[in-house]
Amino acid sequence: MAEKTEIFITGVGGQGSLSASTFLGQAATQAGLKVLVGEIHGMAQRGGIVESTVRIGNVYGPIIPDGQADVLVGFEPVETWRALAKVSPNSLIITNTHPLVPAGVSMKGDPYPDPDEVVERIRDFCSNVIAFDATVLAKEIGNVQTVNAILLGTVVGTGVLPIKEDLLREVVLAGVPPKAVDVNRAAFDRGVSIGQKENMRETVS
């Protein structure tokens, strides 16, 4: 196992990115690992930009230095793009491609870039990118609020985490309302399948 695993999570308030970092922290703790979870920006209200960190292993503070995140999980493509300073070309980037314009951008009247071009720029920076529309997938599964379960399943499915898939699934399902357990299980498992396929592709290549 790696000495440490650094995960940077970014998105827009209301998407569930802070819950994702909490679930990862809880799972790491239950796995007996040292973990530090930190929130970089406190704009968790709907529409605000949210960034958080999960540092697992031999770490001593919540801040991930620029260029040192092993994994970048983006809930919104432009926010993923903005967070590229946190990763290196060798990192793993998992991003939702569905645009959600942050409130600060829409209030200023700034133009929103083409999402396809944004993903292209992300791929130009890092070759190990998993990009898909998790929002549309969540709607197909039955609940748009399961985007975080899909993305967490994708992360663990790649095998990059020092956490077992079953443990993370258990933590996620324990953290949602009882009526949402089945749809979140389906979402998480769909994400695992995506992560496993990408991992196999990477291994073969």
pLDDT, tens only, 34-55? 999 998 765 545 557 889 999 9
CA distance 88 to 90: 5
Task: Between 203 and 176, name the one with better pLDDT.
Answer: 176
Rounded CA separation 13/126 (Å) = 26
- For every residue of 114-152, DSSP letters joined together read PHHHHHHHHHHH-S-EEEE-HHHHHHHHT-GGGHHHHHH
Beta bridge partners of 135: none
Residue 204's pLDDT band, with cuts at 50, 70 and 90, is very low
CA-CA distance, 133 to 135, in Å (whole number)? 5
Range of weakest confidence among 15-19, 105-109, 155-159, 196-200: 105-109
Strands 87-96 and 129-132: parallel
Say if CB 37 and CB 53 are below 8 A apart: yes
Domain chopping of the chain, boundaries: 4-204
Q: What is the pLDDT of residues 161-192, one digit of tens each?
A: 999 999 999 999 999 999 999 999 999 999 99
Detail the DSSP E strand segments found in 43-198: 49-57, 69-74, 87-96, 129-132
Average pLDDT in the chain? 90
pLDDT band of 2, cuts 50, 70, 90: low
pLDDT surpasses 60 at 106? no
pLDDT at 141: 97
Domain range 4-204, CATH architecture: 3-Layer(aba) Sandwich (3.40)
On whether the CB atoms of residues 33 and 57 are closer than 8 A, the answer is yes
| pLDDT at residue number 199 | 72
**What tokens were used for 80?**
């993923």
Structure confidence at residue 205 (pLDDT): 42
User: What residue has token string 């949210």?
Assistant: 50
Query: Per residue in 60-96, pLDDT tens?
Result: 888 999 999 999 999 999 999 999 999 999 999 999 9
